[in-house]
Amino acid sequence: MRSYSRRNVLAFGAIAGTAWLGSTPARADNSVAIGFAGPMTGPVAAFGNEIKRGIDLAIDAVNAKGGVRGKKLVVVVRDDEFDPVKTVGAYRDLIERQNVVALVGTANSAAMLAVTPLLNDQYKIPAICVHTDATAIIHNQAEKEGRDNYLFRLGMFGSGQADFLVDSIVKKFGLAKVGLLTWTAGYGQIGRKELTRRLSELGMKPVADETFETGDTDMTAQLLKLKDAGADVIMHYGTIKEAVSIFQTRKKLGDPMIPFVSSWGIAVPALWKAAGDLAEGTIDSNVVTVDGPQSPERQAVIDAYHKAYNRQFDDPASFFDAYDAVMLFALAMDKSGFEPSAIRTALENIPSYHGAGLSVDHPVFTKENHEGYRLADMMLGRWTSGKFLRIGYDEKGPFVTPAEGQKRYIDPKTFALQ
Amino acid sequence: MFFFFQILLNGIATGAIYALIAVGYSVTFTTMRVLNFGLGMWVMLGGMLTYSLYVAWDLGIVVTALGVAALLGLLGVVAERFTVRPFVKAGSEAWVMATLAVGLLYVDIAELVWGRNSLAVPGFLGENVIRLGAVGVYPQQLLIVAATVAAFLGLDYFYYRTLWGSAFRAVAHNPEVARLMGINAGAIATASYALAGILAGFAGMLVVPITTADPQMGAVLGLKAFVVPIVAGLASPRGILFCGVAYGAIEGLISGYLFSGIRDILAFALMIVILYFRPEGLFGRPSFERA
């Protein structure tokens, strides 16, 4: 009896002590926890699970080298079912009960926008967003007011992606007559607005501005109008399903086919699964690809992925951004300890980073810039026989490298391989 | 002129699909006064099954069609027995929710089984574009139009030339009298629900080479196809064929000559105007209503 009550007292003391420590996060097993809430079940579970795989493999890599300051890293995962209301609940749980000191962002821009004020104003816990590209997540109220901004991002962001797409196509490919073909839902209309803005900044305007609805199965009218307007290139913002309809209709209308450029929204292996050969020659923006020759760092992680999961990637960008996010957190903790506000400050002061996804000689984040990917770090890829190959440029023009030492030039007018 | 014909031809192919789905609404309504509000999801299920049978297992088009018909027909029997009949018998209108619930169940199951990605299904007659002068058309689109016309001719034959068809019409006209004549009205109700399921499955099978197959494809198709029997008159198969094709063509022409954003607004507004002047539908006969 005595020992029993003694244990009770001790347990109570431990709980009370933890509560009293308050802002100093402590976990019973002397580990440090990174939190992640994302869609682990339901229709978009593929993205949540891909982000988690990135976190898991990065944590394995960190712990294999002894962890951070002698502590093991762990991840605590909550399923938010792609529902912003559940994301908010999950974040409260992760921060208040699970004592996470940093977070990897969820897969839903609306959910990320919902938790942004919580992180900045209430909890002051740093989060690195992956997959979500709404500009306002990073350019939030705290940033506007010059307060500490706890939100960072690795991945595409709305305005940057539009700048990159337009600049690449207009300046590097030399195409001047840009026709827009965008989805009428939110993502497509944000894209339409941003592309139009960038074109007008360059003193241009789209020669045609067509839209399509969710579930449209035939794009004949839109494509004929784009053709009649003399568009050299179609810039698209939308989802895979309607992109397939566009490809099918384009083939039906016959040669010459107008080249097709899109955002990272469709730059995932699922595009080729749905469209097959119809996607050949499509150019997408993205931040990474796993196809074609890779740097040794990235190839090692790709191999680790295949070994650990024995499957193909669902979304390489989500995976590598999550992987890099954990690595950057580990670097920041190594430098400044486990206090969330200190981690935040340390993230702004990492002088250079050569990771599996992002590789830069300048600081990833600074006090003024919380976007890890700058325009120069983004990439265009060309779908080539089922592979998403990074596009490079030399004096002879744009090219892809299907295998080491193999250079295939792209006709900038048709996107065909020469 | 090229522009006009290219758009018209595509509109007709799209409209044929609407008609094929729409007749499914009509079949159950005329016999049981019940509408399967989840019918779009049955179309989706037909499409997803087509992917598994025709693409994943490579069983050929005949086996695929038989498989789709068998499973959707069986599901129709089960769904009628357990989600429609109990409510109709009890004089409740809860079958409205039940038919929707079955549809949503299909979506969730499909997402579990096939995932959420769009799955490609090749055309049954190949992928080479047929050129009629400058106008291009996929063989699958011609197949859709041909299959829809064949389905309607078959239905016509069934309704007016077969004993079962006569029984269907008798139950539609007056179930009580039909029962007194020795017709098993319950069996007819079940059969009509199964028939609607099979037609929806065929529609899904025919449409996926054009649209790709994914669990969310049913909602939009089901809703648009619902407009057709409402405008045509629920009890008029020939009217449904005409209105379905016309609806597809009008949709195409609106997107082509105005812009696609206004298409659904104009098309649905047109439906409201027609219903205002002809509540029974363009081809409906008020006398067909039960007193």
Supply B176's token pair: 């009580």
pLDDT, tens digit (0-9, with 9 covering 90-100), for A85-124? 999 999 999 999 999 999 999 999 999 999 999 999 999 9
Count of CB atoms within 10 A of residue B58's CB? 9
SS3 state of residue A73: strand
Task: Look up the CATH architecture of domain A159-286+385-409.
Answer: 3-Layer(aba) Sandwich (3.40)
pLDDT, tens digit (0-9, with 9 covering 90-100), for B206-263? 999 988 899 989 988 998 899 899 889 888 888 999 999 999 999 888 888 887 778 8
Q: How far apart are CA B38 and CA B42, in angstroms?
A: 7
Burial of A86: CB neighbours in 10 Å, binned 0-12, 13-18, 19+? middle
What residue of B is the nearest CA neighbor of A43?
A: B116
What confidence score (pLDDT) does residue B286 get? 57
Domain ranges of chain B: 2-288
- Best mutation target among A40, A182, A214, A220 (most B Cβ atoms within 10 Å) is A220
The residue with greater pLDDT, A8 or B115, is: B115
Contacts of B120 in chain A (CB under 8 A): 244, 273-276
Q: Mean pLDDT throughout B131-157? A: 90
Question: Could you identify the residue written with the tokens 């609940």?
Answer: A89
A10-155+296-376: what fold? Answer: Rossmann fold (3.40.50)
pLDDT, tens digit (0-9, with 9 covering 90-100), for A340-373? 999 999 999 999 999 999 999 999 999 999 999 9
Start-end of CATH 3.40.50.2300 domains in chain A:
10-155+296-376, 159-286+385-409
Q: How far apart are CA A23 and CA B96, in angstroms?
A: 54
- Angle, alpha carbons B242-B246-B250 (nearest 5°): 175
- The correct answer on CATH 1.10.3470 for the domain covering B2-288 is yes
Contacts of B13 in chain A (CB under 8 A): 218
The residue with greater pLDDT, A201 or B88, is: A201
- Best mutation target among A248, A250, A255 (most B Cβ atoms within 10 Å) is A248
Say which residues have a Cβ less than 8 Å from residue A390's Cβ, sequence separation at least 6. A289, A292, A379, A380, A381, A400, A401
Listed residue (B204, B284, B195) closest to B236, CA to CA: B284
Note the pTM of the prediction, 2 decimals. 0.83
Interchain contact, A211 vs B215, CB within 8 Å: no
What confidence score (pLDDT) does residue B74 get? 97
A26 pLDDT above the threshold of 80: no
B148 pLDDT above the threshold of 90: yes
- Best mutation target among A182, A218, A224, A226 (most B Cβ atoms within 10 Å) is A218
Listed residue (B13, B41, B20, B36) closest to B213, CA to CA: B41
- Angle, alpha carbons B205-B211-B215 (nearest 5°): 75
- How far is the alpha carbon of A406 from chain B, nearest alpha carbon, in Å? 31
> Mean pLDDT, chain A, as a whole number?
91
Whether ipTM tops 0.90, in short, is no
Q: How far apart are CA A128 and CA A201, in angstroms?
A: 30
CA–centroid distance for A56 within its chain: 17
A12 pLDDT above the threshold of 70: no
Q: Mean pLDDT throughout A254-263? A: 91
What confidence score (pLDDT) does residue B262 get? 83
Q: How far apart are CA A101 and CA A406, in angstroms?
A: 46
A287 pLDDT above the threshold of 60: yes
Contacts of A215 in chain B (CB under 8 A): 211, 217, 219-221
H/E stretch holding A135 reads: helix A135-138
